[in-house]
């Protein structure tokens, strides 16, 4: 047998290249130019190298060295540093890494679902906020949306960005406004690590060991596939999804290029399946993520030919490119809760048949065009053509989970986001965490009383920094299921679970029922959310002495048909937002458990309540509804009262438990 020497040299070169690549010192992707390190506490720096390799770390006036262990991992602890910078962080082994523009200040982890993920560009006064963002000492790192069946050692990407007009638009809005308040008061660098993903359950943010040791989850976790089996389960789900897609429409297009024809007005979509629009496309196939096209045809008479018009397509989850008669008229990226309003220039519309084609990309959760039918319309010179109804639908491609890091459905199994988006951050030095999540868990609010503290304990244990500060946002007001005391309110029960979590040490809660929006689960006013979280930190952590919370229930006294309620945290006094002084949002019930809205007044620092239908009141509730925006009790410093109830009657979520899909 003849041996090809060229192949030998090639194999040798590949081997040597692989050997030296493996030997190179590297650090996590969280370590990069512009990073912020936590002040006044030990600074962990870690990474990977060749087994036994000596690694030297230099920072400011410090030099420390260590050796990589038998798995190639290494770690040093730099001594605490005061706020300052910019500095250079240098790591040297067989190769050298130099990280520039490193600041030392306060580092906060920002996590949760869409209201934490919500960007500055989608918030109130976005243009002004972006234009005026001139805070080079505030830095933001967005953790890429990543799921993983196993705990990951490193992130899949990401970089640190300065708070300026070029980058701030994509910052977490809650995180940015929180950081801005801290910076203005403390005048030290602020680092934000934004690890959030919209539409996610709390269970996916908890580690597997924590769930397995939990009294409420350990029996369920016995049915959770092992890490090895999970790959098989995910593959089978993919096969099942592919089978259902074939049943619906046949084969997928070969590639994106072949799907370009879907935008053309002459394309024949008569054999496409139909779905109701507005409405998420999961009405056809459950758990469907990917890229799909929606097409509709309208007929115009000659008088509108060539006219400019306005196209309204309600909201689209998540991104879209919209065409009219094959011409692109608008597009939005990752704006799943923004109204699509696109201008159609003159000369595009014509007499007769006109085609609207929308390419939609959905990365998780519901997908497609959704919202009110009234927001689906074409406006031509004052004339309105309604567009809701049956649209043609065709999938271009599927986005499905894989056995490695991916951006598949984060709620498919518990732990997936902990593995992909939290574990790689440990043990980076942080001051604390801010959290905005719960909407996805509202139907399991009673269980959240244990799930939420479990997650906080889990993170604190794994970080090894003790009971670091953990501040969170209580659910805002939203119509949800129109729940209230008569029908039951899952959102009120979730808020109660959040309030009870304050029993944990070093926690704080920002109440936001007054700044919600009845018809929008994503209220645009993120400025006040950030300010209220910052007020907690400035008082409890940084000792500025500022008031940081609103009135909280303390006790009640019943006298005949009247109830007098006492509060703590009233600051300089109770106040209401009603110009006539009416107190709103309170309810009373007797032993029959039937609640009635109460007449209320502020008298001598207390709230006095009554209702003629409740001659012998035994229970009081305040802001007990999905949409609690009419509740109007504050202290004079402007902080809203905390929703509460004095009864312990069974709620509507008490028997609803989390289970693996």
DSSP alpha helix (H) spans, 250-280: 256-259
Average pLDDT on 72-86 reads 98
Average pLDDT over the chain reads 91
Question: pLDDT tens digit string along 21-65?
Answer: 445 999 999 999 999 999 999 999 999 999 999 999 999 999 999
Residue 2 above 70 pLDDT?
Answer: no
Buried/exposed 428-443: b ≥16 CB within 10 Å, e otherwise: bbbbbbbbbbbbbbbb
What pLDDT does residue 657 have? 94
Mention every residue, 6+ apart, whose C-beta is less than 8 A from residue 163.
Answer: 133, 134, 135, 136, 138, 139, 140, 171, 176, 179, 180
Task: State pTM to two decimals.
Answer: 0.85
Q: Which residues of 611-626 are buried (b: 16+ CB within 10 A; e: fewer)?
A: beebeebbbbbbbbbb
Q: What is the reported pLDDT for 407?
A: 52
Question: Would the pLDDT of 13 be above 60?
Answer: no
Burial label for 246, CB within 10 Å (0-12, 13-18, 19+), is exposed
pLDDT score recorded for residue 33: 98
What whole-number percentage of the chain has pLDDT above 90? 77
Domains of the chain with bracketed CATH: 240-398 (2.60.120.260), 552-641 (no CATH)
Q: Under 8 Å CB-to-CB from 648, ≥6 apart: which residues?
A: none
The least confident of 236-245, 323-332, 372-381, 516-525 is: 236-245
CA distance 648 to 158: 46
Please check the confidence at residue 19 and state whether its pLDDT lies above 50.
no
The answer to whether 390 and 269 are in contact (CB under 8 A) is no
Inter-residue contact 393 to 386 (CB < 8 Å): no
Strands (E), 122-206: 135-142, 160-163, 190-196
Per-residue model confidence (pLDDT) at position 397: 85
Average pLDDT over residues 589-616: 97
In this predicted structure, what is the pLDDT of residue 110? 98
Whether the per-residue pLDDT at 355 is higher than 70: the answer is: yes
- The number of helix segments (H) and strand segments (E) in the chain equals 12, 34
pLDDT surpasses 90 at 601: yes
Q: How far is CA 654 from CA 83, 318, 494, 587, 623, in A?
A: 47, 33, 11, 22, 19
In 3D, which of 461, 566, 567 has the Cα closest to residue 511?
567
Please say whether the beta carbons of 629 and 525 come within 8 A.
Answer: no
Task: Find the mean pLDDT for residues 192-209.
Answer: 96
Query: What are the structure tokens assigned to 54, written together?
Result: 């000596």
* pLDDT 10s digits, 448-494: 999 999 999 999 999 999 999 999 999 999 999 899 999 999 999 99
- The percentage of residues in the chain with a pLDDT greater than 70, rounded to a whole number, is 94
> What region, left, alpha or beta, does residue 635 occupy, with left being phi > 0 and alpha being psi -120 to 50 degrees?
beta
Q: Return the closest-CA partner of residue 654 out of 495, 343, 499, 444.
A: 444
């Amino acid at each position: 047998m003849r041996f090809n020497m060229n192949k030998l040299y090639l194999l040798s070169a590949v081997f040597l290249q692989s050997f030296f690549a493996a030997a190179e010192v590297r650090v996590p992707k969280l370590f990069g130019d512009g990073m912020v390190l936590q002040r006044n506490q030990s600074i962990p720096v870690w990474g990977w190298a060749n087994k036994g390799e000596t690694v030297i770390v230099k920072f400011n006036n410090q030099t420390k060295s260590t050796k990589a262990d038998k798995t190639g991992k290494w770690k040093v602890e730099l001594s605490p540093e005061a706020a300052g910078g910019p500095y250079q962080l240098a790591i040297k082994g067989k190769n050298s890494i130099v990280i520039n523009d490193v600041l030392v200040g306060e580092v906060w982890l920002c996590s949760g679902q869409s209201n934490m993920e919500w960007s500055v560009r989608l918030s109130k006064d976005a243009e002004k906020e972006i234009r005026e963002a001139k805070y080079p000492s505030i830095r933001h790192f967005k953790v890429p949306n990543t799921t993983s069946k196993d705990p990951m050692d490193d992130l899949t990407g990401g970089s640190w960005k300065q708070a300026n007009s070029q980058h701030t638009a994509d910052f977490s809005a809650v995180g940015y406004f929180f950081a801005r308040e801290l910076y203005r008061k403390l005048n030290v660098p602020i680092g934000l690590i934004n690890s959030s993903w919209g539409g996610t359950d709390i269970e996916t943010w908890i580690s597997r060991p924590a769930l397995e040791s939990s009294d409420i989850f350990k029996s369920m976790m016995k049915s959770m596939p092992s890490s090895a089996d999970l790959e098989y389960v995910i593959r089978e789900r993919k096969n099942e999804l592919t089978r259902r897609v074939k049943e619906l429409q046949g084969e997928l297009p070969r590639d994106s290029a072949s799907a370009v024809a879907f935008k053309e007005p002459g394309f024949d979509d008569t054999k496409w399946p139909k779905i109701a629009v507005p409405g998420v496309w999961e009405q056809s196939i459950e758990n469907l993520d990917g890229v799909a096209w929606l097409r509709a045809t309208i007929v115009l008479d000659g008088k509108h030919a060539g006219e400019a018009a306005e196209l309204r397509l309600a909201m689209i989850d998540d991104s879209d490119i919209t065409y009219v008669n094959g011409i692109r008229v608008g597009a939005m990226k990752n704006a799943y809760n923004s109204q699509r309003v696109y201008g159609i220039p003159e000369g595009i519309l014509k007499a007769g048949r006109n085609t609207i084609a929308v390419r939609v990309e959905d990365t998780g959760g519901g997908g497609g065009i959704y919202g009110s039918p009234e927001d689906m319309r074409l406006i031509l010179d004052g004339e309105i053509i309604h567009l809701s109804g049956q649209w043609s639908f065709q999938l271009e491609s599927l986005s499905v989970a894989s056995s490695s890091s991916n951006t598949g459905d984060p709620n498919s199994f518990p732990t997936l986001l902990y593995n992909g988006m939290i574990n790689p951050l440990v043990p980076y030095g942080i001051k604390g965490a801010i959290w905005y999540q719960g909407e996805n868990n509202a139907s399991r609010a009673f269980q959240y009383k244990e799930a939420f503290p479990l997650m906080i304990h889990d993170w604190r244990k794994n970080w090894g920094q003790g009971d670091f500060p953990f501040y969170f946002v209580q659910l805002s007001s939203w119509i949800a299921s129109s729940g209230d005391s008569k029908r039951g309110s899952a959102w009120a029960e979730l808020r109660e679970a959040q309030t009870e979590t304050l029993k944990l040490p070093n926690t704080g809660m920002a109440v936001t029922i007054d700044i919600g929006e009845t018809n929008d689960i994503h209220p645009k006013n993120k400025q006040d959310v950030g300010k209220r979280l910052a007020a907690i930190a400035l008082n409890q952590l940084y000792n500025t002495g500022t008031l940081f919370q609103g009135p909280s229930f303390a006790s009640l006294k019943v006298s005949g048909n009247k109830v007098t309620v006492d509060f703590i945290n009233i600051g300089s006094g109770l106040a209401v937002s009603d110009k006539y002084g009416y107190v709103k949002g309170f309810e009373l019930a007797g032993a029959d458990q039937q609640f009635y809205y109460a007449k209320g007044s502020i008298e001598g620092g207390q709230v006095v309540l009554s209702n003629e239908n409740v001659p012998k009141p035994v229970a009081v509730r305040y802001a007990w509804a999905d949409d609690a925006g009419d509740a109007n009790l504050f202290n004079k410093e402007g902080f809203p009262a905390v929703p509460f109830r004095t009864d312990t009657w069974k709620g509507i979520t008490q028997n609803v438990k989390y289970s693996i899909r």
